[in-house]
Chain A
Amino acid sequence: ETGVTQTPRHLVMGMTNKKSLKCEQHLGHNAMYWYKQSAKKPLELMFVYNFKEQTENNSVPSRFSPECPNSSHLFLHLHTLQPEDSALYLCASSQGAGRLDGYTFGSGTRLTVV
């Protein structure tokens, strides 16, 4: 596999459920990111990991919990979400800060909270 792979592609969960989103990159990048894209809003940066260390948490509620076990894998653990958390969750990776080449995105997980 190549590029950035996200699973699942679609997820419907109740407000009391616990689920996890998975992201895997095969590009040899050392930085990984979670973004949220809601309707009619710009992409919002949630978390940044550089060499497995979290370097940014953009005031994200604690019901979202990221995990980065190694430079190739990134998870987003979800629990007690709200309906307004329904959105497209995009994972991205970059080589370093991505100054020259920007970021490569996965296809996203479309999350619906019911």
Chain B
Amino acid sequence: RKEVEQDPGPFNVPEGATVAFNCTYSNSASQSFFWYRQDCRKEPKLLMSVYSSGNEDGRFTAQLNRASQYISLLIRDSKLSDSATYLCVVMRGSQGNLIFGKGTKLSVKP
């Protein structure tokens, strides 16, 4: 089983739609979780950290379910500029390194 698994998509949605991405991780000792965004031919950039109680940043909401080893990202009111690949990232152990999923591609259409 891969350490971090994501549905690669693509997700093609109209502007204004709500879209959700899911991610599962295999190492139950993982402590920290992140969502990164990567635009085409650019470097990954941190979108948001994922906290145990769930957290929201504007139109973006991240959730963590430790029991199911599952992370989600919800984007409300999608914008054209949200088109990118969203990477689920898990820290291996409490002092470990970041392990990246393959990413989920989102395309928001007018």
Contacts and interface: CB of A to CB of B under 8 A. Distances in A.
B1 interface: no
Interface residues of B, number: 25
Interface string A86-106: 000010000001111111111
Contacts of A43: 44, 87, 100
B45 A105 contact: yes
Given A98-B91, A99-B31, A105 B44 contact: yes
Contacts of B46: 101-104
Given A102-B34, A107-B43, A108-B43, A42 B103 contact: yes
Q: Bin the interface of chain A by size.
A: 20 to 34
A99 B43 contact: no
A44 B14 CA distance: 32
Nearest to B36: A102
Contacts of B87: 42-43
Provide the main secondary structure of the chain A interface: loop
Interface string B30-53: 011010100001111110010000
A104 B99 CA distance: 14
A106 B106 CA distance: 23
Interface string B65-107: 0000000000000000000000101010011111111110000
Contacts of A74: none
A34 to B, nearest CB: 11
Interface of A: 33, 35, 40-43, 45, 48, 56, 90, 97-108, 110
A-B CB proximity, top 10 nearest: A105-B43, A43-B100, A42-B102, A102-B46, A97-B95, A102-B34, A42-B100, A99-B32, A107-B43, A108-B43
Given A98-B32, A102-B32, 11 more contacts: A35-B100, A42-B4, A42-B102, A43-B100, A97-B91, A97-B97, A98-B98, A102-B89, A103-B46, A103-B98, A105-B43
